Amino acid sequence: MAEINRKTVVVLGTGGTIAGTASSPTDNVGYAAAQLGVDALLQGQGNWLLAMADLESEQVAQLDSKDMDFEVWRLLARRCVHHLARSEVCGIVITHGTDTMEETAFFLQRVLGSAGMGTKPVVLTGAMRPASSIAADGPQNLRDALTLALDDQATGVMLAFASVMHSAVNVRKTHTYRLDAFGSGDGGPLGYVEEGVVRWVRRAEQGGGDAGELARLLPRIVSSRAAFPRVELVASGAGADAFVVDALLQHGQATGTPVRGIVVAGTGNGAVHHALEAALARARDAGVAVVRASRCGDGRVLPRSDDTFADCGSLTPAKARIALMLSLLAAAAPSI
String of DSSP letters for 78-96: HHHHHHHTSTTEEEEEEE-
pLDDT tens digits, 51-64? 889 999 999 999 99
Please give the Cα distance from 307 to 302 (Å, whole number): 10
What would the pLDDT profile of 158-205 be if each residue is shown by its tens digit? 999 999 999 999 999 999 999 999 999 999 999 999 999 999 999 877
Alpha helix segments (H runs only) across the chain: 38-42, 46-49, 70-84, 101-114, 138-149, 211-215, 217-223, 243-255, 274-285, 317-329
Q: DSSP string covering 104-132, please?
A: HHHHHHHHHHHTT-TTSEEEEE--SS-TT
pLDDT in tens, 80-111: 999 999 999 999 999 999 999 999 999 999 99
The C-alpha atoms of residue 276 and residue 225 are separated, in whole angstroms, by 34
pTM of the model: 0.93
For the segment 300-314, the average pLDDT, to the nearest whole number, is 93
Task: Tally Cβ neighbours within 10 Å of residue 43.
Answer: 9
Instruction: Look at residue 302 and give its three-state secondary structure.
Output: coil
Average pLDDT taken over every residue of the chain: 91
* Options 14, 17, 104, 316, the catalytic residue: 17
Cβ neighbours around 152 below 10 Å, total? 9
CB burial readout 234-260, b (16+ within 10 A) else e: bbbeeebebebbeebbeebeeeeeebb
How far apart are the C-alpha atoms of 241 and 301, rounded to whole Å? 22
| Catalytic annotation present for 174 | no
Q: How many CB atoms lie within 10 A of CB 67?
A: 14
Task: Give CA–CA dist 275/288, Å, rounded.
Answer: 17
Mean of pLDDT values over 115-136: 91
Instruction: Tell me what the mean pLDDT of segment 4-32 comes to.
Output: 94
Dist. CA 139–CA 248, nearest whole Å: 43
Amino acid identity, position 28: N
State the DSSP code for 258: -
Given a contact cutoff of 8 angstroms between Cβ atoms, the answer to whether 160 and 184 are in contact is no
Would you say residue 332 has pLDDT above 60? no
Among 175, 22, 73, residue whose Cα is nearest residue 161 = 175
Structural Rg of the chain based on CA atoms = 20
pLDDT, tens digit, 9 for 90 and up, residues 219-237: 777 766 778 999 999 999 9
Query: Cβ-count burial of 195 within 10 angstroms (0-12 exposed, 13-18 middle, 19+ buried)?
Result: exposed
pLDDT reported for residue 114:
65
191 sits in the region (left: phi over 0; alpha: psi -120 to 50; else beta) called left
CA 43 to chain centre: 26
CA dihedral 207, 212, 217, 218 (to 10 degrees): 90
